[in-house]
């Protein structure tokens, strides 16, 4: 099959990483995949797909509709003549639909990785536009049940036009000792530090401010507590200023992008926290589980599909800071046998249901079934 994977930009972040991993597995299975980004990417953040066409269309992300970008994408589609176009999050399906005007041949799939109603909000005109765009999409494929029900209700989709294929990740782990040595030698973490890690784009919906204030509140009782923040984004200056204002510079580390070393950072940490305000089914939680790192998270979006309290982690009501603190305290004080049981169950969940090879085969069969519907 010829498959065009369309992403916002070919950079190392949530939706793009998921689409990239899927694409590389599809290439390994012998399919021809074009890896296309709407907007330019910094070379240091680039996800480069082996044995494939890698293209940045160079669109302007500040324009509501970039007509030059539409023409560029239309040209790429005509040149590659794909069987399947998969639009992965954000602006991709808008531009895919516009570029396909008058072209009925490629099947268009939208990969829904988040809770769309959160982003649409009360803007009825946006909802109306999305419902119009949805008419050209052949299938809406969500990462989890919550995301699927959300988009189905928002866009008034028939049941046979939407469904779930879980996101997949490589089932590869790093020994905790290896990760800890890396943190000690690279970032100065001490052996007796209790390390919390949060990973994501430094943007409001990831709620990093909550995490920083959490450290301020907890460190009187746990002076060896450290928070490692992995990621970049527009809120970094504001967050760094908050750390300075709270006087906790020695307890919070900003590591920026760490694409090559994320598994080591996770494995060397004692706890992952996820206080996000909105999430689909977060891949970084799966990575923590594969590396047997405990997870404390708010119960937003599809997070409870992964983090089940008392079974695979600690999932607490959204924005309940005291419940979040209590969960962290429980992780710190929990005996090794009880903690290990939860970590093993989390590892098993991801291994059985979210392995990349298994999910890729599901996509391959899905694409074939979609092409058979003529």
Summarised one tens digit per residue, pLDDT across range 116-173 is 988 888 889 889 999 999 999 999 999 999 999 999 999 999 999 999 999 999 998 9
Residues 129 and 186 in one domain: no
30 DSSP 8-state letter:
T
Q: What is the dihedral of CA 191, 196, 201, 202, to 10 degrees?
A: -100
* Average pLDDT value for residue range 256-278: 94
CATH classification at residue 24: 3.40.50.2000
Summarize pLDDT for 220-241 with one digit per residue, the tens: 999 999 999 999 999 999 999 9
Residues 260 and 270 in one domain: yes
Asked if pLDDT for residue 72 goes beyond 90, the answer is yes
Residues 344 and 360 in one domain: no
Beta strands in the chain (DSSP E): 2-9, 32-39, 53-56, 84-88, 107-112, 139-142, 162-164, 194-199, 225-230, 252-256, 271-274, 295-298, 314-316
Asked if pLDDT for residue 352 goes beyond 70, the answer is yes
**Kind of pairing between the strands at 53-56 and 32-39:** parallel
Asked if pLDDT for residue 65 goes beyond 80, the answer is yes
Residues 75 and 101 in one domain: yes
Residues 21 and 131 in one domain: yes
pLDDT score recorded for residue 374: 66
Residues 111 and 198 in one domain: no
Residues 242 and 365 in one domain: no
Residues 157 and 215 in one domain: no
Give the domain extent around 320: 176-353
- What element of type H or E holds 165? none
Residues 212 and 164 in one domain: no
HEC sequence for 193-218: CEEEEEECCCCHHHCHHHHHHHHHHH
User: Which residue reads 């995301």 in tokens?
Assistant: 147
Cβ atoms of 82 and 51 closer than 8 Å: no
Summarize pLDDT for 201-212 with one digit per residue, the tens: 999 999 999 999
* Structural domains of the chain, count: 2
Residues 368 and 324 in one domain: no
Residues 339 and 221 in one domain: yes
pLDDT score recorded for residue 45: 85
Q: How far apart are CA 108 and CA 83, in angstroms?
A: 9
Q: How far apart are CA 348 and CA 228, in angstroms?
A: 26
Residues 328 and 190 in one domain: yes
Report the percentage of the chain scoring pLDDT > 70.
100
Q: Which pLDDT band holds residue 97 (cuts at 50, 70, 90)? A: very high
């Amino acid at each position: 099959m010829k498959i065009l994977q369309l992403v916002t930009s070919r950079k190392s972040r949530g939706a793009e990483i998921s689409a990239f991993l899927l694409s590389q597995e599809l290439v390994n299975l012998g399919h021809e995949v074009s890896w296309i980004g709407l907007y330019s990417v910094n070379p240091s953040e680039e996800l480069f797909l082996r044995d494939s066409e890698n293209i940045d269309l160079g669109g302007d992300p500040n324009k509501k509709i970039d007509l030059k970008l539409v023409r560029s994408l239309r040209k790429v589609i005509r040149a590659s003549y794909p069987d399947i176009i998969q639009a992965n999050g954000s602006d991709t399906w808008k531009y895919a639909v516009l570029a396909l005007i008058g072209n009925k041949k490629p099947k268009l799939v939208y990969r829904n990785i988040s809770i769309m109603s959160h982003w649409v909000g009360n803007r009825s005109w946006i909802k109306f536009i999305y419902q119009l765009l949805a008419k050209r999409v052949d299938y809406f494929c969500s990462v989890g049940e919550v995301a699927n029900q959300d988009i189905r209700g928002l866009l008034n989709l028939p049941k046979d036009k939407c469904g779930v294929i879980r996101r997949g990740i490589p089932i590869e782990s790093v020994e905790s000792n290896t990760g800890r040595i890396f943190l000690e030698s690279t970032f100065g973490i001490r052996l007796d530090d209790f390390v919390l890690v949060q990973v994501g784009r430094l943007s409001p919906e990831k709620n990093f401010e909550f995490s920083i204030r959490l450290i301020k509140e907890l460190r009187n009782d746990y002076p060896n507590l450290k928070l490692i923040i992995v990621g970049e984004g527009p809120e970094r200056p504001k967050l760094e200023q908050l750390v300075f204002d709270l006087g906790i510079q020695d307890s919070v580390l900003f590591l920026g992008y760490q694409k090559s070393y994320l598994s080591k950072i996770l494995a060397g940490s004692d706890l992952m926290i996820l206080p996000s305000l909105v999430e689909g089914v977060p891949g970084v939680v799966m990575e923590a589980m594969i590396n047997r790192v405990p997870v404390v998270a708010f119960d937003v979006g599809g997070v409870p599909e992964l983090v089940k309290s008392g079974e695979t982690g600690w999932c607490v009501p959204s924005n309940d800071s005291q419940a979040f603190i209590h969960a962290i305290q429980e992780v710190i004080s929990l005996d090794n046998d009880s903690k290990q049981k939860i970590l093993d169950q989390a590892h098993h969940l991801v291994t059985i249901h979210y392995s990349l090879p298994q999910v890729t085969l599901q996509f391959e069969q899905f694409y074939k079934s979609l092409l058979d519907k003529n």
